[in-house]
Amino acid sequence: MRSISKAAAIAVFSLLLCSSCAASVTNSSDSALPLSTAASATADTVSPAPYSSEEAIFSTATDTSALATTDNTPTSADITASSAEAHSSTAPPATSVTPPATTAISTTAPTTVPAATTPPAPKWTESAASGIMYVNTDGIYSRNKALLGAPTVRRYAFGEAVTVTAVTDTDYYKLNDGSFIHKDYLSKSKPVQTTAATTAATAPPATKAPAATKAPAATKAPSDTKKPDSAEPEKYISSGYKPLDEKIFPILDSLITDNMTDEQKLKAVYQYLTGLKYFERTLLISQSQKQYAEQLYAIWLIDNGYGVCYDFSSAFKYMTRALGFDTQMIYGMHTNPSGGAGEHSWDELNIGGTVYIFDPSIELLMKSEGYYTTDRFMKTYNEIGHFYIK
C-alpha cells in the first residue's frame, strides 16, 4: 500500500509538472511563439494522454481526491482552441500590407509630352505679288524670314533689281529665291544715285569750255546755295540731300583742321557722335522721302542729340564721306551678351586693303549698361568680328 502510494505520488508529481508545462506553452503561444512553435507545443502536450488512466491508480489511494480537485491539466480541446486563437491573431497582418503596392504605377502616366513637337504656325501670311523692283538703299540685306531680326541671306547694292513673288503682312517682299526684303528698301522704279548726280553737276563746267577764260562759269553753282555761304560745297562732298549738308558742313568746320591726318579726322567725327546719346525713337518717313531715309536718320540724330544705330551709322557715313572717305553703311546683326543676336547697323571703311569697323552706337549702348571695354573705333574683323553677323 505504501509503495503504491509512493508510486502514485511520483505519478501525480509528474502529472502536475506536465500540466504546468502545458499551461506555459499555451500562454506563451499567444504572444511570442510563431505558428510552427505553437503546433509543436500542441504535439508535446498531447503526448501525456496515456496518463488519462491515472484514475485507476488513484482509486486505491486514500488522498487522491484532494489531488484530483487541483488537476489543471488542459485537455486536447483546450490546446487546440488556444493554438487556433494564436493562429487567428497572427494571420491578418500578413495580408493587410499588399494593397498599397498597386498605386505606385500611376506615376508613369505623363507620357503625353510629344504633343509639343507639333510644328508652330507661320508668323506671317503672304499675298501674291509679282514684278521687278529695285533696291533703294545701299548695303541692305535680305533675310530668311519675313521678320525683323531674322538671319541674313545676302547683301544688295543700291539700284540692284530683284524679282518679287509675294508680299507679307509684316511689310516684307518675298523674292524669287525665297528670301525677304523689307518694303522700305524696295522701289518700283529704279532710283537715281543723287550723290553722283550732285558731284557730276559741279564737274561739267570745267570740261565744257576748253578756253581758260570760260572757267568762271563754275561760279554759277552758288545759285542753289544762296542760304549757307559758309557751307562751302567745294570743300566737302555732298550727301545728296541738301538739308543734311547744311547741318554737317558747319559741324565739320568746327571739328576738322588742315593739318590733321586721316585717322585724326575719323577720330574727330567719331568722338563727336559718341558725345551724343543712344535712345530709342520713332521716325516716320513719307513715301516721297524714302530715297533719303539714311540722310533723314542722320538729321534726326543731329537735331535731337540722340538716336538708334541707324542714326549713328548714317551720320558717320555722310560726315566722313564729306571728307572724302568711301565709308559704307552695313545692315546686319550684333550678338547680345546674354545670348542671341539683334538687328543692327554699323560702318565699314577699307583703308590700305584692311576693312575697319566703326560703331559709335554700340559703344554708347554697352557703356550705358556697364561695359567699359567697348571701344569700337577703327577695329578690324579679326579683333571684334565675332560680334557681327553680315
The pLDDT value given to residue 191? 80
Q: Which three three-digit cell numbers place residue 23?
A: 499551461
The pLDDT value given to residue 109? 47
Pick from 195, 185, 186, 184: nearest CA to 284: 184
The pLDDT value given to residue 135? 87
Contact 138, 157 (CB under 8 A): yes
The CATH class for the domain spanning 126-187 reads: mainly beta
Contact 381, 346 (CB under 8 A): no
The pLDDT value given to residue 69? 42
Alpha-carbon distance 63 to 83, whole Å?
34
Alpha-carbon distance 279 to 294, whole Å?
17
The pLDDT value given to residue 382? 95
- All residue ranges of the chain with pLDDT < 50 are 1-3, 18-71, 76-77, 79-111, 113-114, 116-117, 119, 194-233
The pLDDT value given to residue 231? 45
Alpha-carbon distance 213 to 226, whole Å?
25
Q: Compute CA 303 distance to the chain's CA centroid, rounded to the nearest angstrom.
A: 38
Fold adopted by 228-389: C8orf32 fold (3.10.620)
How far the first Cα of the chain sits from its last, in Å, is: 132
The pLDDT value given to residue 116? 46
Cα-Cα-Cα-Cα torsion 86, 91, 92, 93, nearest 10 degrees, comes to 100
The pLDDT value given to residue 7? 53
Contact 285, 296 (CB under 8 A): yes
Amino acid at residue number 380: T
The pLDDT value given to residue 334? 94
Q: Which three three-digit cell numbers place residue 10?
A: 511520483
The pLDDT value given to residue 38? 36
